[in-house]
Chains A and B, each alone.
Chain A
Amino acid sequence: MSTFKTFIAGIPSIIACSMLLSLTAFAQEKPKLSDPEVASVAVVANQIDIAYAEIAKEKAKDKNVLHFAETMSNDHKAIIAQAAALAKKLGVTPKDNAVSQQLLSNAEKTKTALRSKSGKAFDKAYIDNEVAYHKAVIAAVETLLIPETENAELKQLLQNVVPALKAHLAHAEMVQKEFK
């Protein structure tokens, strides 16, 4: 029974690791992406973190976790708005692709795992996942999306997003220390 409990408790970490591994794998394999596909991956990656934040806003108890979730929701919405405005200006329609699909598929598993938790266990699982997710996304943006992007304005937007992602990671790691 205790082995089962340990296994269940470890599920978010396993999923976070699989997310990290799949994004890292994409970053290493460097699949060829067109600018509309890069735009799709960027929008999907932001949407996923907003979805995690919405779950946290419903379930989190810790005030610092709630504050972090609120910030993630607002910041990633602002980034999507800028990406949408740029896509409109450039006449680019985000195009679905294997990377976007893999991100969404992994996110569904993570959301299910998060929803199965409550109380302090949820707070810990959410913030652990945010640390892993931001590490994976930073690696993917720096080593896959930015190098793959041809349009200078889209590349600049992605470069501008990296410091925000790194600040989110530092913030998440700070909150994570409360749960160790």
Chain B
Amino acid sequence: MVLRSCICLFCSILVLTSCSSSPEKAKVEKAKAEEITFASNLDTVVIAQMQFQPALLTVHKGDTVVFVNKGIVNHDVTERVNKAWTSGELPVGTSWKFVPAKSSDYFCSIHVVMKGKIIVE
């Protein structure tokens, strides 16, 4: 009985110690956080000064791209060749997210001289 109590106490101490300060545990948690970040990788294109910045963006398949309109007028983001996808009109200060399935040239269909490209690797 005394032996059982001692074993339980030892185990409790071991658990408490490992929870509070184990470097291995910390490593595991960090790895998980990186994995989550990688799984939901977010690339940003800022729309400002009548440009897509960056105009050329390379992403991994499955990455999310967010377009943020920091300009002074409304814009949109539209696939160039046959308008396969579009954000619709993006008012000033708003953003739009999407996961590109393949590489695309795109433009602002409101201001047709504004162009960009996404390369999906």
Q: Which residues of A contact B (CB under 8 A)?
A: 71, 74-75, 78-79, 82, 160-161, 163-164, 166-168, 170-171, 174
Asked whether, in the complex, the Cβ of B72 is within 8 Å of the Cβ of A78, the reply is: yes
Count contacts between A and B, CB distance < 8 Å. 35
Q: Nearest CB to that of B108 among chain A residues?
A: A167
B51 proximity list for chain A (CB < 8 A)? 163
Contact of A174 among B49, B72, B92, B112 (CB under 8 A): B112
A78–B89 Cα gap in the complex (Å)? 14
A41–B98 Cα gap in the complex (Å)? 41
B51 to chain A minimum Cβ distance, whole angstroms, is 8
A75–B89 Cα gap in the complex (Å)? 13
Given contacts A78-B92, A167-B50, contact A160 B111 (CB under 8 A): no
Number of interface residues of B (CB under 8 A): 13
List 30 A-B pairs, Cβ < 8 Å.
A71-B110, A74-B73, A74-B74, A74-B110, A75-B73, A78-B72, A78-B73, A78-B74, A79-B72, A79-B73, A82-B72, A160-B49, A160-B72, A163-B49, A163-B50, A163-B51, A164-B50, A164-B71, A164-B72, A164-B73, A166-B50, A167-B50, A167-B113, A168-B111, A170-B113, A171-B111, A171-B112, A171-B113, A174-B112, A174-B113
B72 proximity list for chain A (CB < 8 A)? 78-79, 82, 160-161, 164
Q: Which residues of B contact A (CB under 8 A)?
A: 49-51, 71-74, 92, 110-114
A161-B72, A164-B50, A164-B72 known, 5 other contacts, Cβ within 8 Å: A74-B110, A78-B72, A163-B50, A171-B113, A174-B112
* Interface residue SS majority, chain B: loop
A160–B70 Cα gap in the complex (Å)? 11
A134 to chain B minimum Cβ distance, whole angstroms, is 12
A74 proximity list for chain B (CB < 8 A)? 73-74, 110
Q: Tell which of A71, A79, A166, A174 has the most Cβ of chain B within 10 Å.
A: A71
A95–B72 Cα gap in the complex (Å)? 24
A167–B72 Cα gap in the complex (Å)? 13
B116 to chain A minimum Cβ distance, whole angstroms, is 14
A130–B18 Cα gap in the complex (Å)? 72
B92 proximity list for chain A (CB < 8 A)? 78
A82–B92 Cα gap in the complex (Å)? 11
Q: Nearest CB to that of A170 among chain B residues?
A: B113
Q: Nearest CB to that of B91 among chain A residues?
A: A78
B111 proximity list for chain A (CB < 8 A)? 71, 167-168, 171
A74–B91 Cα gap in the complex (Å)? 12
A163 proximity list for chain B (CB < 8 A)? 49-51
B49 proximity list for chain A (CB < 8 A)? 160, 163
A79 proximity list for chain B (CB < 8 A)? 72-73
